[in-house]
Amino acid sequence: MMKALPTDLFAQASIAFDLDGTLVDTAPDLVRALNAVILPRGLDPVLTEDVRAMVGRGARALIERSYARQGRALAEPDAIEQVADFIEVYKADIARDSRIFPQVRETLEAMKSAGARLSVCTNKPSVLSDALLEALDLTHFFERIIGPERTSAKKPAPDHVRTALDQENGYLGMVGDSAPDVDAAKAAGVASVVLSYGYSEQPASSLGADRLIHEFGDVPSALANIWRSEA
């Protein structure tokens, strides 16, 4: 059990979290669904480790990158069909092999108990985000689940972060694992924390977040240090 967090900060805090690679290791289920879509169309299978560097910009981008890695282009009519097929296959067994990262559940509980308002800010389609969080019994931690269809522009646009956060609160933060998370937070003027274990196209240390951490349990102290330094 985590120790109680300072309510002088967290009772006035609104914190948004990326989903894939930050809260949940979804790569095994993503690669299963992805390969189910691309193999019948003549592509070679994508490996789980490769998918971890391709996630973060939505379902269509994941499929496009699979094609690009094999020197092929994804044509527009087929792109729509493949995205629909991917969503259908993935949603049908969305949490079969996905796992919540260590310390996530207890850390979210500690922040919520301290009064923080928590949300999800993800480029994963909203219908899939809802289903995944429900399947893993995480929904109750969050006041908002903001996928790309629930905002005017998805990450790295600042609108996505602003939609996810309760901006009337005094302390704001975005916790993620990749460039879209950090870039969106910066553009929105929000504190950013990045996890080193996540799904990033480039080293997490090069993303320019306000804090780089290696365990989810360090999220509260990282945010508190940023907020106190800004006071």
pLDDT in tens, 27-48: 999 999 999 999 999 999 998 8
Contact in structure between 21 and 52 (CB atoms under 8 Å): yes
pLDDT of 56 reads 63
pLDDT of 1 reads 59
pLDDT of 182 reads 98
Rounded-to-integer distance, Cα 177 and Cα 152, Å: 22
Structure tokens at 79: 């792109």
b vs e for 201-211, b when ≥16 Cβ sit within 10 Å of the residue's Cβ? Answer: eeebeebebbb
Rounded-to-integer distance, Cα 105 and Cα 110, Å: 9
Q: Mind giving me the DSSP string for 81-147?
A: HHHHHHHHHHHHTTTSS-EEPTTHHHHHHHHHHTT-EEEEE-SS-HHHHHHHHHHTT-GGG-SEEE-
Q: What is the mean pLDDT of the chain?
A: 93
- 74 half-sphere exposure, CB direction, 13 A CA radius: 21
Report residue 231's pLDDT band, with 50, 70 and 90 as the boundaries: low
Please check the confidence at residue 210 and state whether its pLDDT lies above 90. Answer: yes
Q: Which of 8, 18, 78, 85 is catalytic?
A: 18
Q: State what percent of residues in the chain have pLDDT above 90.
A: 80
What is the mean pLDDT of the segment spanning 67-95?
Answer: 90
Rounded-to-integer distance, Cα 79 and Cα 81, Å: 5
- Whose tokens are 């609104």? That residue is 14
Rounded-to-integer distance, Cα 51 and Cα 231, Å: 40
Report residue 49's pLDDT band, with 50, 70 and 90 as the boundaries: confident
Domain boundaries of the chain, sorted by first residue: 7-26+98-230, 27-92
CATH topology of domain 7-26+98-230: Rossmann fold (3.40.50)
Of 83, 39, 31, 85, nearest in space to 55 by CA: 31
85 is catalytic: no
What is the DSSP secondary structure assignment for residue 202, as one 8-state letter?
A: S
Report residue 174's pLDDT band, with 50, 70 and 90 as the boundaries: very high
Rounded-to-integer distance, Cα 69 and Cα 41, Å: 15
Summarised one tens digit per residue, pLDDT across range 177-187 is 999 999 999 99
Rounded-to-integer distance, Cα 160 and Cα 122, Å: 8
Out of 3.40.190.100, 3.40.220.10, 1.10.260.40, 1.10.150.240, the CATH code matching 27-92 is: 1.10.150.240
Helix (H, G, I), strand (E, B) or coil at 78: helix
pTM score of the predicted model: 0.92
Same fold, 7-26+98-230 and 27-92: no
Rounded-to-integer distance, Cα 194 and Cα 208, Å: 9
Summarised one tens digit per residue, pLDDT across range 6-15 is 889 999 999 9
Please check the confidence at residue 68 and state whether its pLDDT lies above 80. Answer: yes
pLDDT of 7 reads 87
Name 175's bridge partners: 17, 193
Summarised one tens digit per residue, pLDDT across range 103-142 is 999 999 999 999 999 999 999 989 999 999 999 999 999 9
Please check the confidence at residue 58 and state whether its pLDDT lies above 90. Answer: no
